[in-house]
Amino acid sequence: MIEVRRAQVADLLPCLDMTARFHAASPIAKIAPFDKDGMAATLRAMFQDDRSGVWLALRDGQPVGIAGALLYPLYFSPAHNVAQELFWWLDPAARGCGAGKSLFQSVQNWAKDKGAAAVFMIALDDNRVSKTDKFYRRAGFEPLERTYVRGSQSWQ
């Protein structure tokens, strides 16, 4: 059975484990190493801040996924808040059981409850782009822009 709930300080260790696994599997690892202490501080702040949230997906009581989001004023129209997904990860062994979609919906429900004008979700580039695009479009999302990054290690 899948359950999604807001993470709390007592969930710090499984949250740290899953964010480390997300980091290792993402291109972000090319930019900077995972900072366990820094991420722990970030998660603790997110657990307590009303303008951010962390959700855990549990299957049979065991953590299998995590999502985190932040609410902030839209820079072009500060009277309107938007929600930004910061991380969304699911253990590969748990994919296909509905936990990922439940996390996805939890972020959207939170954003709606907070009165956000929009929700920004990030899709990392990989070989599943067309599948990812279909998933987001079926959920009512549309592409806005594409982000490019250059790590400081390539600056000369």
Burial annotation 88-118 (CB, 10 A radius, 16+ → b, else e):
bbbbeebeebebbebbbebbbebbeeeebee
Counting every residue written for the chain, the total comes to 156
pLDDT of residue 56: 97
pLDDT of residue 138: 87
Domain count, the chain: 1
Average pLDDT of each block of 10 consecutive residues along the chain (156 residues)? 95 97 90 96 97 96 96 96 95 90 95 96 69 82 80 75
pLDDT given for residue 132 in this prediction: 76
Kindly report the pTM of this predicted structure. Answer: 0.89
Range of the domain at 138: 2-154
CATH number for the domain spanning 112: value is 3.40.630.30
| Burial of 22 from C-beta contacts in 10 A (0-12 / 13-18 / 19+) | buried
